[in-house]
């Protein structure tokens, strides 16, 4: 464990809590892509199947359970409790365009052809594109609530910190996880234009509205 | 990074 990974996990947890608080307090999920949240729940489900078969540490187990609970609670709030405020007409990204190629790729490019390993690989590839429906929705509506931009900032920051963690682990323990690193780079690149808008607009107190 | 047991990251 290193400081980059801890900060990354905290940033990830903070993002999920920010989103949950936003929906819970405003009792509204307008502007939030339910499809992205479904993809995140799928990412955690396929990645954390080893929760019961492979104990790594108390921290690892507790965080996995919290991440799973947050993901499913968020999906429940969007499609269940506050479904009347969910603007599905703006959440139109075709998930099959992501799921089909990623499923194929996880069968082709993995470390070992076992169910657990293929599901883990699927979750890594899926996570790198899971935010696309949300970014697509923002580009379609042309704006995002400030709290939503903070959510996206910490969500993008978490994987950027994981990149620093992998650089650190490569130099200190010669650890190299090519699938996770390549996917992590792709995932962080998708956030770059958002990061630019966040720094130049939101941090200056303006509302995030796309040109 | 091999299969299964090496997975110590979230």
Angstrom CA distances, B6 to A80, A184, B10, stand at 37, 18, 12
Of B3, B8, B9, the CB nearest to A112: B3
Q: Is A144 left (phi over 0), alpha (psi -120 to 50) or beta?
A: beta
Are A116 and B2 in contact (CB < 8 Å)? no
For chain B, say whether A177 makes contact (Cβ under 8 Å).
yes
Residues 6+ apart with CB under 8 A from A31: A87, A137, A138, A141, A144, A145, A148
Q: How far apart are CA A99 and CA A104, in angstroms?
A: 9
pLDDT digits (tens, 9 = 90+) for A59-78: 999 999 999 999 999 999 99
Contact map slice: A 70-109 vs B, CB within 8 A: none
Tens of pLDDT, residues A106-150? 999 999 999 999 999 999 999 999 999 999 999 999 999 999 999
CA distance B3 to chain A (A): 6
């Amino acid at each position: 464990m290193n400081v980059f990974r801890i900060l990354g996990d905290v940033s990830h947890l903070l993002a999920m809590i920010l989103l949950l608080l936003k929906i819970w307090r405003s009792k509204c999920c307008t502007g939030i892509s339910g499809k992205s949240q479904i993809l995140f729940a799928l990412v955690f489900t396929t990645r954390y199947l080893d929760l019961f078969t492979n104990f790594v540490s108390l921290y690892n187990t507790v965080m996995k359970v919290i991440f799973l609970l947050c993901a499913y609670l968020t999906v429940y709030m969007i499609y269940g409790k506050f479904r009347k405020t969910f603007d599905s007409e703006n959440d139109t990204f075709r998930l099959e365009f992501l799921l089909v190629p990623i499923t194929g790729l996880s069968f082709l490019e993995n470390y070992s052809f076992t169910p657990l390993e293929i599901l883990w690989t699927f979750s890594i590839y899926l996570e790198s594109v899971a935010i696309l429906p949300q970014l697509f929705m923002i580009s379609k509506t042309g704006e995002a609530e400030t709290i939503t931009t903070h959510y996206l900032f910490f969500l993008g920051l978490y994987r950027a910190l994981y990149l620093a963690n992998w650089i650190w682990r490569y130099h200190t323990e010669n650890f190299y996880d090519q699938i996770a690193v390549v996917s992590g780079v792709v995932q962080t690149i998708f956030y770059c234009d958002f990061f630019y808008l966040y720094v130049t607009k939101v941090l200056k107190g303006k509302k995030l509205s796309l040109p | 990074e091999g299969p299964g047991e090496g997975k110590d990251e979230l």
